[in-house]
Amino acid sequence: MTQTIGFIGLGNMGLPMATNLINAGYTVLGFDTNEASNEKFVAIGGTAIADVAQLIAKSTVILTSLPTPQVVSAVYRGPQGIIQTANKGTIIVDFSTVNPQLNDELYVEAQQAELHYLGAPVSGGVIGAIKATLTIMVGGDSEIHQQITTIFNTLGKNIYHLGTSPSIGTRIKLLNNLMIGFYTEAVAETIVLGEQMGIEADVLFEVLSNSYGQSRIFERNYLEYMKNNDYNPGFTTNLLLKDLKLAKEMAQQVGVPLPIGDKLVDLYSTISDEGFGDNDMAASYLSLKNKTKIEQL
Ligand code: NAD
């Protein structure tokens, strides 16, 4: 049967992912509550559907890339939602980063409605979504994963089916983002401190890139954002904060203290409150810079 893909959530990640599917020849229907996102989707050759229920009814595969667990829950469980209205046998894949319990619950609710659900958070950022180099961390039934591997391969480079637990991908994704929280603040503190001592940021970046301080987040945050003084996201501070809170909740459930993780939740809450919530997370550098004495030593 020919697949018709419905893509719900055409934001920083969803739009380039949907674009790659269209470019690969798939029929893709799109829906976003933000009209500007729908317009961008139409501009790249997609078919925007104004009524989400219609999109759900017409799709054999539904993909979602939504901001928060609350939004995901509403889109799946609402009266016009996927679980209520999708045709039996539809495959649904959530690429959003949510709490593991939500993946597990949606799997069961989908199964009761004779739908097939996979939890499949992604890593690799907007660049990875554009270049189709995402890492996709899939949890759920192997046969369903097999049925849509060509879709996954169109979107990413490293596709991991991690087991039949629908939340296993999310658990690993949240561990990844816990590390991203550490690194992002480490980069900000390092560059601000270096600059304050009169060391050029480019020099610091070059030398540390060839030392153990190197990290992918250093490359990403410095080269894509800080060096260009452009903090258009990317991955927003607010999304990072959401994921750190989810990681903290996950750690509490298994009794693991996160001494630095706890501090990071407070730190990024402050950075968000300072007005950097909708900026890329690399703006933690700006936050620290604002608190630093401007005078040179
Ligand atoms: P985003 O805010 O840019 O995109 C989310 C989109 O969902 C927006 O266009 C928004 O209008 C739309 N939306 C909100 N409510 C909706 C609804 N009820 N129905 C339909 N559309 C709705 O966020 P993003 O950066 O694209 O991230 C999406 C998900 O992917 C998040 O869970 C995020 O944590 C995760 N993620 C993001 C990145 C990144 O680098 N940006 C990387 C990996 C994972």
- Residue of 66, 95, 177, 231 best suited for mutating to test ligand 1, as the one with most atoms within 8 Å of CB: 66
Query: For 84-112, how does the pLDDT look when each residue is reduced to its tens digit (9 = 90+)?
Result: 999 999 999 999 999 999 999 999 999 99
129-139 residue pLDDT tens? 999 999 999 99
11 lines ligand 1 (CB under 6 A): yes
Q: What is the pLDDT of residues 106-147, one digit of tens each?
A: 999 999 999 999 999 999 999 999 999 999 999 999 999 999
* DSSP H or E segment with residue 249: helix 237-253
Write down the mean pLDDT value for the chain. Answer: 97
Q: What pLDDT does residue 296 have?
A: 45
Do residues 116 and 89 touch, judged by C-beta distance below 8 A?
yes
Distance, CA 8 to ligand 1 centroid (Å)?
A: 9
Q: What mean pLDDT is predicted for residues 171-182?
A: 98
**Would you say the CATH fold of 171-296 matches that of 4-164?**
no
Look at phi and psi of residue 93 and say left if phi exceeds 0, alpha if psi is from -120 to 50, else beta. Answer: beta
Can you tell me whether residue 154 is helix, strand or coil? helix
pLDDT at 294: 62
> How high is the pLDDT of residue 297?
42
The residue to which tokens 């949510």 are assigned = 98
Nearest CA to ligand 1 atom 43: 123
From 2.130.10.10, 1.10.1040.10, 1.10.3720.10, 3.40.50.300, which CATH number describes the 171-296 domain? 1.10.1040.10
Question: Is the distance from the beta carbon of residue 239 to the nearest atom of ligand 1 less than 6 Å?
Answer: yes
Q: Is 37 in the pocket of ligand 1 (CB under 6 A)?
A: yes
Q: Which whole number is the average pLDDT over 250-277?
A: 98
Q: What is the CATH number of domain 4-164?
A: 3.40.50.720
> Please, are residues 90 and 60 in contact by the beta-carbon 8 Å criterion?
yes
What pLDDT, on a 0 to 100 scale, did the predictor assign at position 293? 76
DSSP state letters, 259-297: HHHHHHHHHHHHHIIIIITTSBGGGHHHHHHHTS--S--
**Among 39, 65, 133, 135, which residue has the most ligand 1 atoms within 8 Å of its CB, making it the best to mutate?**
65
pLDDT band at 2 (very low <50, low <70, confident <90, very high): confident
Q: Which residues are catalytic?
A: 173
Mean pLDDT of the region 220-247: 98
SS3 for 39? helix
**Domain residues of the chain, as ranges?**
4-164, 171-296
- Mutation choice for ligand 1 from 12, 178, 225, CB with most ligand atoms inside 8 A: 12
Q: Is the minimum distance from the CB of 33 to ligand 1 under 6 angstroms?
A: yes
Question: pTM for the whole thing?
Answer: 0.97
